[in-house]
Amino acid sequence: MKFFRNISYKKNIAYLFSCAIFFVITSCEEDLTKNKGKQSKNFPSQIINNANIIQRDSGFVTMRAKAPIIEKYELIDSPYTVARKGIDIQFFDKKKPKIPGTIKAKYAKFYDYKKFYEAKGNVRITTNEGDKFAMQSIYWDQVKKNIYTKDTVYVTRKDGSTLIGAHGMRAKDDFSEYVFFQNSGDFAAPEISQNKK
């Protein structure tokens, strides 16, 4: 009789233990499904190593970009593309197609929907006219077609004259016009006399 009691007692313990495992597994599964909705989607959907990108408009090359690595984040609400290890861009104007302007920076980011670029870290811009700009950051609103920064901007013109915009600048994106804030500099005398006319 004791033998049968031990067996039924062990069956009851095994039954209770299996029920407990079932409820633990079920509750774990519910937690996993709840957490799946909260998982971050902010990871690159594409990674391009040693990127060499060419952009064309009606067959005309408008831009060439090189970067050690480019990451595209497309699975989030505001998709963007980032070059964390620097970028070197050549941009071409149809008026002077053989002489490109350049932009170099240690970091660059492009917001896809806003058509907005930012470049940071030792930013160097050379226009196709030969003017050189140096600053720590610059922003380009492609929709409004303007470029701006609040950093100090150092400019060396192709004639050797220099200009410093202590509180930044705003310019058209083709650098045909630009305004400096609290500027100072060293200009060539003939250029000043031409500007006064």
Q: Is the pLDDT of residue 195 over 50?
A: no
Q: Which of 54, 52, 46, 50 is nearest to 72 (CA)?
A: 46
Q: Is the pLDDT of residue 9 over 70?
A: no
Evaluate whether residue 194 is within a structural domain: no
Query: pLDDT tens, 45-73?
Result: 888 999 998 888 888 888 899 999 999 99
Number of domains in the chain: 1
Evaluate whether residue 195 is within a structural domain: no
pLDDT given at position 23: 54
Evaluate whether residue 129 is within a structural domain: yes
93 near 128, Cβ under 8 Å?
yes
pTM (2 d.p.): 0.69
Domain, as residue range, for 169: 44-179
Evaluate whether residue 12 is within a structural domain: no
Query: pLDDT tens, 138-179?
Result: 999 988 989 999 999 998 988 888 888 888 899 888 778 888
Evaluate whether residue 87 is within a structural domain: yes
Query: pLDDT tens, 94-144?
Result: 777 788 889 999 999 999 888 899 999 999 999 888 889 999 999 999 889
pLDDT given at position 29: 47
pLDDT given at position 138: 94
Q: Which of 188, 157, 182, 161 is nearest to 170 (CA)?
A: 182
CATH number for the domain harbouring residue 147:
2.60.450.10
pLDDT given at position 97: 78
Alpha-carbon distances, residue 46 vs 37, 81, 95, 113 (angstroms) = 22, 9, 35, 17
82 near 113, Cβ under 8 Å?
no
Grade residue 82 by pLDDT with cuts at 50, 70 and 90: very high
Spatial distance between the Cα atoms of 141 and 19, rounded to a whole number of angstroms: 62
List the Cα angle 87/108/54 in 5-degree steps.
50
